[in-house]
Amino acid sequence: MAAPRSFLWSRRIFLTLLTGFVLLPVYVMLSSSLKPLQDVSGEFRWVPSGLTIRPYIDIWSTVPLAKYFVNSLIVAGAATVCSVVIAIFAAYGVSRYRFRGKRLFTVTVLSTQMFPGILFLLPLFLIYVNIGNATGLALFGSRIGLILTYLTFSLPFSIWMLIGYFESVPRDLDEAAMVDGCGPLGALFRVVVPAAVPGIVAVAVYAFMTAWGEVLFASVMTNDTTRTLAVGLQGYATQNDVYWNQVMAASLVVSVPVVAGFLLLQRYLVAGLTAGAVK
């Protein structure tokens, strides 16, 4: 279809404005992270008066950023792996079998998505403390508790997306594999999973981002040694002097891994959404 000239112009204007809106904070983050302190304390300047990499050196000593970084990597990484594996099993069960309670299961899991986090924050905290007292398993304040919590946040959406994705893999393929002597799980891992890689990558990206960005539970359920970036970053901003250049440098540093990963894998995410959520 030949687009009229007016369409091209309105498109150009709209997309330019939108790009500006999207990139404005990114520019502020990047430019402020390279400014000397007197620059970020006074009136805002579009162009820095001088460039310095000092903030990028100081962020590691102002707060123990490296420790928070490692904590976040462990928690988000483990939550992602567990969430993806569990979602694969569940989605396979739902997409390939008929059984009693199937509808109840999907409705139950999906409806947990609508619970306000605040509703189960305190009860969950109490449950973790009770389990800890009864079994000696330290769920509260440990990484395990946070991993358990985060993986259930991404699980419903992951299952939902993978059901759609698995259903787009022809059933004949895994049935043929089973005739050839694979078990159901052999068929799952040799046929269905390889065919659904884009969907699985999409789900993994989503799970990692969910865990990397969560604030509420991280601030209640961590202690000094298990604190994640979501809480640790507030360390720069609550002091008497706010080192805005360091805050911006730290924000940039914690964003780079997840944004880079996301942009590299976004093709898969779009493909995954097409086959899964949208179907």
135, 172, 240, 263: residue in contact with another protein (rule CB under 8 A) = 263
Q: Does residue number 9 form part of the binding site for another protein (CB under 8 A)?
A: no
5, 116, 223, 241: which one contacts another protein (CB under 8 A)?
116
One-letter identity of residue 101: G
Please state, in angstroms and as integers, the Cα–Cα distance from residue 207 to each residue in 198, 201, 268, following that order: 14, 10, 14
Question: Applying CB under 8 A, which part among 49-57, 59-67, 183-191 lies near another protein?
Answer: 183-191
Query: Among residue numbers 66 through 85, which ones bind another protein (CB under 8 A)?
Result: none
Q: How many residues contact another protein, by CB under 8 A?
A: 104
134 versus 278: smaller Cβ distance to another protein: 278
Among 59, 155, 196, 207, binds another protein (CB under 8 A): 155
Helix boundaries (H) for the chain: 5-33, 37-41, 54-62, 65-96, 102-111, 117-135, 143-167, 171-179, 184-187, 193-195, 197-213, 216-221, 229-232, 234-237, 244-275
- Of 81, 138, 148, 195, the one binding another protein by CB under 8 A: 148
Contact set for another protein, span 189-228 (CB under 8 A): 189, 209, 212-216, 220
Which member of 36, 48, 132, 186 binds another protein (CB under 8 A)?
186
Contacts of 254 (CB under 8 A, 6+ apart): 69, 72, 229, 233
Cα–Cα dist 211/150, whole Å = 6
